[in-house]
Structure 1
């Protein structure tokens, strides 16, 4: 798989702003992430995955770019796609923190929203 359009977000906020603007328009983005060994930790993998989940996107393929960076492909989740236990728990955490965007809420499995609503009422 070839690397398509890339984005080098300098911060979590910068990636979130990109997602807010383009999550409905773009079919994918290859986010450039610095390896831990580079000493240039602008945006971590964990933060990038959380922001993507907030907008209903998911990470998939990873490709090396150079000695300091790799590109990670993010794209919108397909309706009915399988959610890993890790992404389920992360999405629930993001709901509790009030970070989920409407697009992310639409992509969530119903049982996650039901669990969160139950917590909110309880």
Structure 2
């Protein structure tokens, strides 16, 4: 597949990563126009994005988030490409994929503004129907220690001390793993593993 040259990129590239095309867009409008045509006929793409401090135009993080939500897609991992650019994967949302509270709030704002399109609305309806909408997980900024984790840590001083010594990101990953458990049994198992790892002086995995 051939990468599409965005307006600000002077050289057209022929590039794929992990089997997906690399595409450069000059702004969010170009990205949404592409998604309008191709949201249902491709397994995903890599966005070719400009790093801060360069003079290459590309969609902003907010534009990427809005465009993907509008058409039922999600953002994925980022990887460095060169000194001026990086790549970000965007893909159609998979069935039963979890929602974040950040995305829930943004969809509500996009809906109020009349910007949501049917592919995105269909994903919202599915998430509301099966409970994923109400179970959306918090961002690192908003996450708090859930009751079951707090009780388990209170019962194990070594695990509690180890948890308190973790950095913000590692603490969030412990909390996030519990939020993302699809069943009570899975959540309980993850909680037990996390507490055991902390008590043993390691990081939960």
Could you tell me how far 1:42 is from its partner in structure 2? Answer: 2.9
Match of 1:51 in 2: 67
Mean Cα deviation higher: 32-41 or 83-92: 32-41
Deviation at 1:41, TM superposition (A): 4.0
| Equivalence for 1:23 | 39
Q: 2:112 maps to which residue?
A: 96
The Cα shift of 1:2 comes to: 3.4
**So what's the TM-score if we normalise by structure 2?**
0.51
Look up the match of 1:110: 128
Which structure has greater strand proportion?
1
Identify the residue that residue 86 of structure 1 maps to in structure 2: 102
In structure 1, how many angstroms separate the alpha carbons of the residues matched to 2:43 and 2:87?
A: 16
Indicate the SS of the match to 1:32: strand
Q: Deviations over 1:34-61 (max 9, x none)?
A: 1122243431122111101100000111
1:68 corresponds in structure 2 to 84
Alpha-carbon distance between aligned partners in 2 of 1:92 and 1:68, rounded to the nearest angstrom: 34
Can you list the C-alpha shifts for 1:78-103, whole angstroms capped at 9, x where unaligned?
A: 12211011111111111111111100
1:38 aligned to 2:45? Answer: no
Q: Which TM-score applies when normalising by structure 1?
A: 0.84
1:3–1:63 CA contact under 8 A, matched in 2:
no
Whose RCO is larger (CA < 8 A, sep 6+)? 1
Q: Which runs of 5+ in 2 are unaligned?
A: 1-16, 134-205
Report the Cα distance in structure 1 between the residues aligned to 2:97 and 2:58, rounded to whole angstroms: 30
Q: Which has the larger radius of gyration?
A: 2
CA contact (8 A) 2:26 2:57 kept: no
* Maintained 8 Å contact 1:53/1:104: yes
Residue 3 of structure 1: CA displacement? 6.6
Do the aligned partners of 2:24 and 2:58 also contact (CA within 8 Å) in 1? no
